[in-house]
Amino acid sequence: MAMRNPPHPGQFIRDEILEANDLTVGTAAEHLGVARPTLSHLLNGKADLSAEMALRIEQVFGIRMKTLLAIQSAYDEAQVRQRTPKLRLKPFKRERSRG
């Protein structure tokens, strides 16, 4: 079962990479080859983790891209389920052929 309120991947990156390695946002951005504001937006939950950024993090810091994207996916699912009211949709039922 998925977590009810999984963290934004930016929080995970801040905790597990920046803080764990005593890095500033600017230094981490340099290592990743991205602009400081780009990384800052991700870390502050204002931007989603892209596949490209996940690959950069994997190559520089060794955290698997697949793991990072799974964190983003869990976050996205939780957000959509919380924001979207219960939809009144009818499940599809295939009609039996008359033969």
> Which pLDDT score is estimated for 88?
80
Distance in angstroms (rounded) separating the CA atoms of residues 41 and 10:
8
Token output for 66: 């697949």
Q: Using DSSP, state whether 7 is helix, strand or coil.
A: coil
Global pTM value: 0.83
pLDDT digits over 57-77, tens only?
999 999 999 999 999 999 999
Average pLDDT, the chain: 92
Q: Is the pLDDT of residue 3 over 70?
A: no
